[in-house]
Every structure is written in structure tokens, then in C-alpha cells.
Structure 1
């Protein structure tokens, strides 16, 4: 039996870009329906990240009633069409996604193409391997020579950390001994939990159910690697030279942006307000966390050094094949990727495909 592991587990901390998005009450239900968007029942919050680096929790907006949600991007050539759903992550814990437009496409699609990603697996005995590796993993997250965050971080960065830590991590003293990249991961995770958010896009379960219902072909564009020796991998990472500081700073920057704009993103995504989404989806530097780790010997041994590029290349090849053979195909991509001027959508347009974005 093979166990699928997220590469954001304790073995390898925040490797994927930290994406910003919505905050809503846990009881809120978001319905995405065709037709004109209705107004949210609550007042929109207006929040920005303070210049002094403090985090100000955004006022929660209760989104209720049917919402149009983001429309689908359309990529076409010679009568063959690929419809792309833009996703956001993290999302409210109790958000319920439903899009008649997307479901209408899925009912007639010949293929669903998954987003590019990196995933790690462990083979038989994975639970025992992880258990035996745990002491090494716990040591790997600590600073060498007994140093604390105060010792290894620039003064201004440690001041920002000190202002945020009590709010999200309380009086936890152990985290002060962690390497910055692990401390940043803990802080971000705690902040999302406080905001009522969960990782993931909130669309996976519904998409999986529809794939099973219509028996649609599913094409994964994930790059896979196998962790054969977790303990050895942890030792290798513990001794690796990693630019913890750049990652730590990027996570704090992104955290401040995420929390400040959480309510606006919730409304913009639920109501399909593309101008507002474009304004709010500012590119962060959290990718530097991934790059900081991806270039270590431990990560390269898993094929992560160029993993992102390979996954994106696989996605583009899958799209080429789908548009050549299918009348209708469906895919998902992060909204941030769809809005990038040099992202995957822009690359498809450069290859000659007609691209129509939702308004």
C-alpha cells in the first residue's frame, strides 16, 4: 500500500506557494450559480496591511444567497474547447462549492486535466518508516548549536515575528528554537486556523464525485517522487544550507497581505468579480520558500529541483493533446496562475490558442 504525502508535512515545510484568499464564518455557504451576481448579505470589509507590519484581522463578510462565482476561462482551437476553472486556496472551512456552469461542462467533457503539482509517496511500511524517522525530523527543524530565532534573524525581522507570535502561537517557547523556515510554516498555519480557513481549494470533493458520476477520463499532471528513507532525508535536510531568511520574510509578507484582504477575496471570488480579483491577487514571494528547499541535495534527490517546471510542462502537453482529440475538456488552475502575464494561460495564447477570460 502506498501512502500519498503532501510535501508540506513536517518532513519538508512550506514548499508550495502560500496563496491568499478568503475568510468567512464557518457556517457560511457559498453557492456559485449561473446568471447575474447578487449582493452579499453582509457589508464588505475594507482592510489593508498596515505599513508597520502589524496584522489587522479583516471584518468577516457573510456571503449568502446564490452567487455567480468566477466564470470559466475558455481556450479553443479548431472547434475544440478547454474550459478552465480558476481556484483559490485556502478557503473557508465550511465552504460548499457549486457551479452549474462548471457542472454543465463536466457533464459533456471527455477529459479532466488536473493542475500541475508535486507529490511525494512512501512505499510499503510507510507508517513505520515515518515513526522511526520522527526523532530525526524533530531535530532537523531546530537551529544548529542551540541558537534561537533571535540569534539567527535580522533584528527588524525578529521584531515582526515577536509582534505576530503571541496572537497566533501564544506563549509557545519551543518554536523559538526552530529554524526560520519551520517557524514561518507554524505561524502561517496558525493564522489560517484562526481565520477559519483550511488548505485546499474546496472544489476537489465535488469534482471527484462528478468525475466518477460521468466516468470521465482524468489526467494528472503531478510530478511524483518517492521517499525511500525518511530518516536519511531528514539528516540531509538538517545539514543543508537553506536561505531560511528569504523564506521567513516572504511568509510574513504574504501572511500580512492574506489576512488583511481575506474578506474582500471571499466576496470577489464568490461573486465572480474579476476586476476585484485582479486587484487583490498580488504576486507574493512565498515561492522563495519552495526554491530555498528545492535546491538542497535532499530535495534534488526526490526530483524536486526542477519539479515545478516539469509539472507545468506536463500540463501544457496534456492540454495540447486534449485540444487535439477532445471536443470538450475541463481543467483547473489557481486564479493566481491564470492572472499572471507569463503564466500557463499566457503560454497557451502564445502558442496560437484563442483565450477568452471571464468578465
Structure 2
């Protein structure tokens, strides 16, 4: 198959998945305690688009349905999509950069840093808002960035950052921060439930401010990573080969690490720790479209958005009105797949 034919196939598939994503957004916005039809939900969305609202009669739709769809369900759905997109893109990037199929967005300690920041905010009772985001979100973001900076400086040898050293530094720092969180929980038993719920991940507190804050970060970050897709392909072959083919290996890794860390820090700060999305989605997409990061990254973005929308919908509807943290639902799907990857890797080592 020629390159042009393959590119045409990918474009068609991408458009098809994008249409599926839009349809899914409309459909899941109808699910919940309030019974809202697909058509009513679509009208509520279209009437907000300048120039389109006049073509649809929405007088028969109750105002309560408008509030439910536009102010409660849609911000949550969009935030889930954006977070899923960011986690999947970074997961695909790290798997390529570290040449490790089991690398995920939290491998360098971002989640532990964010969790410690959020825990400190919860323990101190900081619940007021600043700049559209809560202090829990703000301290979680600061904790994530500080942790990545610390891990990077621990692993750095001159101007180089060996992959193995970076991973080991991430594990060590994560263990330290997790122990600090445990100590804080012991001394603040009345806050344990809030801390645990945050660390399990949720987008239940989503608002349009969260969406508009996170969307440009994830979109711009994803586009920048796509610009480095060719370099990622060469890094998969090996650092020496990549150098011989003109890739500035250390600089490329630093740039990708910074972009990925910013995406994850912002994502975790608004959603908590949602595991396995960045691990299983890139693998599933890789089986569908192959290992070329020029294709893998954009398809992973769509796949992550769809996956997290579906799992969050399950989290909020399966035992409604009670909610399950979405991180628990993704773990139910992700853990068996992780075990499968371990088994597959073990068989290769034995052979």
C-alpha cells in the first residue's frame, strides 16, 4: 500500500472516530437521573452556537434540563475528554521516549507530587477559589511541577539525563512523597476520606473554568509533541541511531519531558490521579494504527477522550445517585491489561 493510500485511510479513520466522539458526547449528556432525550440535548448544545440557535425550537425544553445539560453534565464530559486526551498523549510519548511499553504518565513521580500538594491543601482546609481553580488544584499543580523538577535534577548528570536514572529517581521520590502523605493522613484522620477520594481521581467537580483552563494546555502540548513525532520514532530505534540520523537526543528528551510534565501537572490538578489511561490506550491504538508516532499521538488523543468519557459515565450512573471515583473504574479495566502486558513481557524474556 502506497503512502498516499495509507494516509487517506488514516484520515478517513480519524474523521470516523472524531464523529463517534461527538456522538458519544451528545449521548452521554442524556444519561443520568433526569431523563433528557438525545434530540433535546442536541438542541441545547446547538442553541449556544452563534447563528444556529434560531433554526431550532427550544421553547418546549424545560430550563432545568438546560441547566443540567449545560452547567452540570457537559463541563464534566468535556473535562473527562480533555484529561483522557492529555493522559493518553503523554503515555504514548513516555512509552516511546523511555522505550518501555509499561511506562505511563506518572512514571516520574508527577502523581505523588500532585497528591502531596492536594493533601496539604485538604489538611489545611483550603477550599476557597483563586483564578477559577481551587487551592487544592493549585497546590496539586505546584506539587507536581516541584516533583518533576526535583526528579530531573536528581537524575541529571551534567547536561544528560539517563533514562534509567530518571526512572529510578522517580520511583524513589514517589515512595518518599507517598510516605509523607500516609503520615499526614494518620495525623488528620477526619480528612482521610477527602484525601482518598481525591487520590482515586474524579471529574465530578468539573466547571467550564476547568475546561477552558485545561483545554489550551493539552491542545498546544499535543501539537508540540506531534512536532517531535519523527524524533520519537527514531528514539524507539535507539539513542545512537537517532544521533547518527541528526536527532539531538538529550535536548529532545528534555523538551518532551517538560511538555509532558506540564500537561500531566495541569490534568492531575483538576482531576486527581486517574490511572491506567495513559498505559492501555496507547497500546490499544498502537495495535490499530501501528507504532508511527505521527499517527499514534493524534489517535491516542481521541482514544483517551473516548475511554475516559465512557468510564466516567459508568462511574456516575452505574449506582446512581452514588458516584464511584473514575480512577477506580479505569483501574478495573486497566489492571487486567497491565497483568497481560507483564505476562507477555515475561514470555519474551524466557524465550
How would you bin the TM-score normalised by the shorter chain?
Answer: under 0.3
Higher share in strand = 1
Higher share in helix = 2
Higher relative contact order (CA 8 A, sep 6+): 1
Normalised by the length of structure 2, the TM-score is 0.24
Normalised by the length of structure 1, the TM-score is 0.24
